Amino acid sequence: MITRMSTLFLRTLREDPADAEVPSHRLLVRAGYVRRVAPGIYSWLPLGLRVLRNIERAVREEMEAIGAQEIHLPALLPKEPYEATGRWTEYGPNMFRLKDRKKADYLLGPTHEELFAQTVKGEYNSYRDFPVILYQIQTKYRDEERPRAGILRGREFVMKDSYSFDLDDEQLMTSYRLHREAYTRLFDRLGLRYTIVAATSGAMGGSASEEFLAECPTGEDTFVRSSESDYAANVEAVTTPPAPERSVEGLPPAEVHHTPDTPTIETLVEFLNGAGWERTFTAADTLKNVLVKTRRPGDTEWELLGVGVPGDREVDMKRLEAALEPAEVALVDDEDFEARPFLVKGYVGPKALQHNGVRYLVDPRVARGTAWVTGADKTDHHVVDLVCGRDFVPDGTIEAAEVREGDPSPDGRGVLQSARGIEIGHIFQLGRKYTDAISLDALGQDGKPKRVTMGSYGVGVSRLVAAIAEQHHDEQGLVWPRAVAPADVHVVVAGKDETAAGEAERLCAELDTAGVRVILDDRNASPGVKFADAELVGVPTILVVGKGLSRGVVEVKDRAGGERVEVSTDGVVEHLVELVRG
Ligand code: ATP
Ligand code: MG
């Protein structure tokens, strides 16, 4: 295929778009790959669409290779299946909801678990039918609170979503593993550097969910990995090794002390160390009680919750939210304090919470037998040596404290280091949540119905265009890996003489015959403009046809490394075919 710049629907921009914060957004707009229509909503122009299609092709090949079958469901969906699983309300404001002319409720699918389960139920009913893996590549809609960075976080975006349907947990493990392997092959093939991170605490058994994160300093997801093992996890999924339990026998009794003007951990520690005791205190010896309120989906009332963490750590709201999901979380305000006089701001202790029926969850470091300095529920007073398991018994533990670099790795090997990434894929053993909701059963060999178990697996197809661009660009522009590039060779005709143009045409025709995809810059523009556009567009190989012709040579430039070699006009087609075939 020969694409001529003289007629290609493309206008590159010299200036960065004003709203672009990250390189991929800046460059994809400047190079004319995408155009913004509304916040988080973009059009694909010819070059962008080619990259998108190349990624889709790779996704299809890897999915077919694990035996997945492609189908296509609507994006416009009726409310009922989503009501059956509770997601019509649970999904919250991220779901686009609409009404048809008869006032019936519809939604634009943010993800399709419900409809896939229903589709399988419509066709299959015997154990002989399973396992099955179905997938689609489709436009998804999410009314993201902060659409960001161009196509990286869109409100309309393309996702590959697949769903496995299995008869038992073992089969589900196999479907999960197949997807994990397919994703690994896919992302390797697309030239991405990525890490597979544990996405849930593993409370559901093993690696029930993992995310593939493209490593990138501009990524929105912070994750941690061990300095010594291959442990990697989302910050939300990091589990804190619990402190060893100790006997409460013989520990000093709790004592309330007058600690004037100590409403913060800092002022408290300073006071304690200046009090003339033989002990020294650090923030880690104090127990900070943070109050929040939570509300379960469908409930109207908020419930107060006390969260106890060691005073040297902040509560990480994202971890807290993940730990309490699907319940919502909000901070308490002055009104909440006023309505509950037992809460003494700055001096809240476990006692008042527990005596007044407030649920109280603590960090795993607050284990039985550990002693703390904490609020005494009285202004200007703290209690020292309040022992967990003796003086207070929490209602449970919660992973809400911030994770820090240098914390021990949960697998016991090494310490945690943090990094940033872009979520490009997510694999998830769902279990029976959706099949229970619609009673998706397979008739077993014994004639009894068996509940089917499900997995769901997503790839951010349009996001991948941006993620690849984030990892493959330089000051001049995009630098596509060959597997996704919009063309193989970008031919620049340098100089105005007819021989150069004629020779370029001849070479392009030969390359085209050999199956090489070329962009030919046949515009009536200066070589400087053409070179700048070639660098910006980012095709892996640039062929310059111009000055050298009198000596019988053309120049082949590697876009990524910048190396240039002169090749004879007779041998250049063969040279390029070899380059392209790798
Ligand atoms: P995120 O945490 O980034 O919001 P998610 O966990 O909500 O993503 P999933 O529901 O797991 O996303 O969707 C599967 C994949 O779809 C994600 O791994 C991601 O690559 C992609 N994706 C999700 N939301 C968007 C979006 N708003 N724009 C582009 N791609 C997205
Ligand atoms: Mg996800």
| Cβ of residue 112 lying under 6 Å from some atom of ligand 1 | no
**88 Cα to the center of ligand 1, angstroms:** 19
The residue whose CA has the least distance to atom 18 of ligand 1 is: 425
**421 Cα to the center of ligand 1, angstroms:** 13
Nearest ligand by distance to the CA of 456: 1
Element (H, E) at 498: helix 498-513
| Cβ of residue 426 lying under 6 Å from some atom of ligand 1 | yes
**251 Cα to the center of ligand 2, angstroms:** 46
Task: Tell me how far apart the alpha carbons of residues 23 and 15 are, in angstroms, rounded to a whole number.
Answer: 13
pLDDT score for 372: 95
| Cβ of residue 458 lying under 6 Å from some atom of ligand 1 | yes
Mutation test residue for ligand 1: of 95, 159, 190, 429, the one with most atoms within 8 Å of CB: 159
Residues 368, 331 contacting (CB under 8 angstroms):
no
Mutation test residue for ligand 1: of 56, 428, 463, the one with most atoms within 8 Å of CB: 463
The residue whose CA has the least distance to atom 31 of ligand 1 is: 460
| Cβ of residue 460 lying under 6 Å from some atom of ligand 1 | yes
The residue whose CA has the least distance to atom 1 of ligand 1 is: 423
- Contacts of residue 363, Cβ cutoff 8 Å, sequence gap at least 6: 240, 308, 309, 310, 313, 397, 398, 399, 400, 401
Which pLDDT tens digit goes with each residue over 429-483? 989 988 998 999 999 999 999 999 999 999 999 999 999 999 999 999 999 999 9
Task: Tell me how far apart the alpha carbons of residues 114 and 438 are, in angstroms, rounded to a whole number.
Answer: 9
| Cβ of residue 143 lying under 6 Å from some atom of ligand 1 | no
What is the DSSP code string of 128-185? Answer: GG--EEEEEEEEEE---SS-BTGGGB-SEEEEEEEEEEESSHHHHHHHHHHHHHHHHH
The structure tokens listed for 407 are 């914390």
Residues 70, 63 contacting (CB under 8 angstroms):
yes
**153 Cα to the center of ligand 1, angstroms:** 8
Mutation test residue for ligand 1: of 56, 426, 428, the one with most atoms within 8 Å of CB: 426
| Cβ of residue 147 lying under 6 Å from some atom of ligand 1 | no
The structure tokens listed for 312 are 């040297």
**74 Cα to the center of ligand 1, angstroms:** 19
Q: Which residues of the chain have pLDDT under 70?
A: 201-207
Which pLDDT tens digit goes with each residue over 270-325? 999 988 888 899 999 999 999 999 998 778 899 999 999 999 999 999 899 989 98
**126 Cα to the center of ligand 1, angstroms:** 33
The structure tokens listed for 578 are 């070899």
Mutation test residue for ligand 1: of 113, 152, 423, the one with most atoms within 8 Å of CB: 423
| Cβ of residue 111 lying under 6 Å from some atom of ligand 1 | yes
pLDDT score for 451: 95
- Burial environment of residue 129 by CB neighbours within 10 A (0 to 12, 13 to 18, 19 or more): middle
**460 Cα to the center of ligand 1, angstroms:** 6
pLDDT score for 221: 85
Radius of gyration of the chain (CA): 30
What Cα–Cα distance (Å) separates residue 497 from each residue in 465, 520, 522?
38, 16, 12
| Cβ of residue 140 lying under 6 Å from some atom of ligand 1 | no
| Atom in ligand 1 nearest the alpha carbon of residue 428 | 11
pTM of the model: 0.84
| Atom in ligand 1 nearest the alpha carbon of residue 220 | 3
Nearest ligand by distance to the CA of 213: 1
The structure tokens listed for 313 are 């750590």
The residue whose CA has the least distance to atom 28 of ligand 1 is: 153
pLDDT score for 204: 43
What Cα–Cα distance (Å) separates residue 232 from each residue in 200, 235, 237?
11, 9, 10
- Cis check: omega of the bond before 326, within 30 degrees of 0: yes
The residue whose CA has the least distance to atom 19 of ligand 1 is: 460
The backbone torsions φ and ψ at residue 15, rounded to the nearest 5 degrees and listed phi first, read: -100, 150
Strands 416-431 and 453-460: antiparallel
pLDDT score for 133: 98
Domains in the chain, please, with CATH? 17-200+429-470 (3.30.930.10), 255-397 (3.90.960.10), 489-581 (3.40.50.800)
**441 Cα to the center of ligand 1, angstroms:** 29
The residue whose CA has the least distance to atom 14 of ligand 1 is: 458
What size, in residues, is the chain?
Answer: 582
**92 Cα to the center of ligand 1, angstroms:** 16
| Cβ of residue 421 lying under 6 Å from some atom of ligand 1 | no
| Cβ of residue 424 lying under 6 Å from some atom of ligand 1 | yes
* 3 state SS of 36: strand
| Atom in ligand 1 nearest the alpha carbon of residue 154 | 28
| Cβ of residue 153 lying under 6 Å from some atom of ligand 1 | yes
* 3 state SS of 265: helix
Strands 371-375 and 328-331: unpaired
